[in-house]
Amino acid sequence: MAGRIFYVDPLHGSSANNGLTSAAYAVGNTGPFGSITDVLWDGDSDPDKFGGSGDIYYMVASTGDYYTHSDYGAYRFDTSPSAERWGYNVYGGYIETKFDGYGPLIMIGVNEDLEEDGTRYQIQYNADTNSVIFNGYFYPFVWRNIEVKSVNSTYSGGMYTWTSGSDGPYFINCKFDWSGPFVTTRGEVFYSGNPSSSFKECEFIGPGTMTALRIGAQYGQHCHVVGCKFKDWNIPFLFSGGPQPFYGNIIKDCNYGVYYGSGAITLHQIMNNLFYNITNDAIYLGNSSYCPQIMHNLIVDCGGYAFNSGASWVPANDRFFRLARNVVQNATSGVYGTDLISSAGGIYFGSTGNGLYANIEDNVEITGLTLSVDDNFNVTISGFPESYLGITGFGSQAPSSAGGFFSSGVSGESVGGVEEPEQARVTS
């Protein structure tokens, strides 16, 4: 059967236990597992045993859980009976609750009182030989409140999944600490143009030289990065195909912000993000015919251009491409790269003429804003010009921060994060 509850508790559990109770109710071998490595079928395809669709694992954050790749191989979440894996997906690629209410396999980090208060369960990942913690075909699963910390001083390791059109994993309030230092690193932590993977309110801490996310969803699955925080990466997000919303994120102390490499030509939304202390370009559009909508972003202290592209870049769809209502302060090279504004003879640049569809317009360059973002991603901001609030779409609340970036003092009701101006009423 599937749809059961298991417990993993590194401090009080054991690999000899069956995982079916928490430590408080342990009797004999009926008690919590001692590690995520105990959740293993070893090729047993019988769904009456460990792991399956709809099963929930409560991961008790009692102490760190050490995982060595050479001991356990690269785990999978699929239907291959011959593979080592964390959960056999009995019903295939269904993310919805179907078949007697069973949905995906879920792992939830909880505190020692079994309460979900945001406390993260930490997996200390020893990536010997630069191996990966995931490797293989994936059906959907959900991780919530889980941290993976790469602890090998020589190899960084990574995470690889592929789904080929099926739904992939969801990560909520997770942390990926790849701060290193490492002697040898992979190019990216999450890497593949194939899978769907979505991240909500996650943290990514890097070694300065790697890419955090290169994920694709090139077959049109979910691939959302919402409310996340990135620090110390070469590239936090490398676009690799698929309609991926990149929304409400904070990117600080990185070499680039969002970077377009290669992949499918499709609509992509980059909205309501904060880019702070970026060494090179904040948003680089590459050379392919990408068609993003880049709006309502705040870019402060950028060593390159705020927006740049390669010489051969041109939007795939004239009507859908939009670069508008962004705010920039202190972009050393300028707001726009020369290749970007000369694209197709400049017809996309609305502010230098009529433009084709006014694709590039209402981006403002400001001075006088004071901004700081500490290592815990707490944002302190003052001096934002209130006259730009209506133009840029920034209001009293910004999705990147629960409290909002701006305390503007502007009167009126906030609608969708935008201060609505007073409306004149015709009475006769």
What pLDDT is attached to residue 167? 72
Mean pLDDT of 304-317: 88
Q: How far is CA 1 from CA 5, 81, 90, in A?
A: 12, 16, 9
Q: Give alpha helix (H) positions in 207-290.
A: none
Q: pLDDT confidence of 187, banded at 50, 70, 90? A: confident
Q: Which residues contact 95 (CB under 8 A, 6 or more apart)?
A: 103, 104, 140, 167
- SS3 (DSSP) at 36: helix
CA dihedral 368, 369, 373, 378 (to 10 degrees): 140
86 in Cβ contact with 75 (< 8 Å): yes
From CA 75, how far away is CA 159, in angstroms rounded? 10
pLDDT higher than threshold 90 for residue 353? no
Q: Which residues contact 120 (CB under 8 A, 6 or more apart)?
A: 61, 109, 145, 146, 147, 173, 174, 175
What pLDDT is attached to residue 141? 82
Least confident of 137-141, 196-200, 328-332: 137-141
Q: pLDDT confidence of 150, banded at 50, 70, 90? A: very high
Query: Could you write out the DSSP letters of every residue in 46-57?
Result: -TTSS-BTT-EE
User: Which letter does DSSP use for residue 222 in this model?
Assistant: -
What pLDDT is attached to residue 38? 86
- SS3 (DSSP) at 375: coil
What pLDDT is attached to residue 343? 65
Q: What percent of the chain has pLDDT over 70?
A: 70
pLDDT higher than threshold 90 for residue 82? no
pLDDT single digits (tens) 358-390:
788 889 999 999 999 999 999 988 888 777 766
Higher pLDDT, 128 or 86: 128
Mean pLDDT of 58-82: 79
Instruction: State the CB neighbour count (10 A cutoff) for residue 423.
Output: 6
In the structure encoding, which two tokens stand for residue 327, read together?
């705010």
Q: pLDDT confidence of 291, banded at 50, 70, 90? A: confident
- SS3 (DSSP) at 377: coil
pLDDT higher than threshold 70 for residue 197? yes
pTM of the model: 0.88
What pLDDT is attached to residue 413? 32
What pLDDT is attached to residue 190? 87
pLDDT higher than threshold 90 for residue 315? no
What pLDDT is attached to residue 321? 86
Domains of the chain: 5-365 (2.160.20)
Angle 10-43-17 (CA atoms, 0-180°, nearest 5)?
30
What pLDDT is attached to residue 136? 64
Mean pLDDT of 351-360: 60
Using the Cα atoms of residue 167, residue 254, residue 321 and residue 413 in order, give the sign of their dihedral: positive
Q: How far is CA 23 from CA 19, 34, 56, 301, in A?
A: 9, 10, 16, 50
From CA 135, how far away is CA 162, in angstroms rounded? 8
Highest mean pLDDT among 48-62, 126-140, 275-289, 309-323 belongs to 275-289
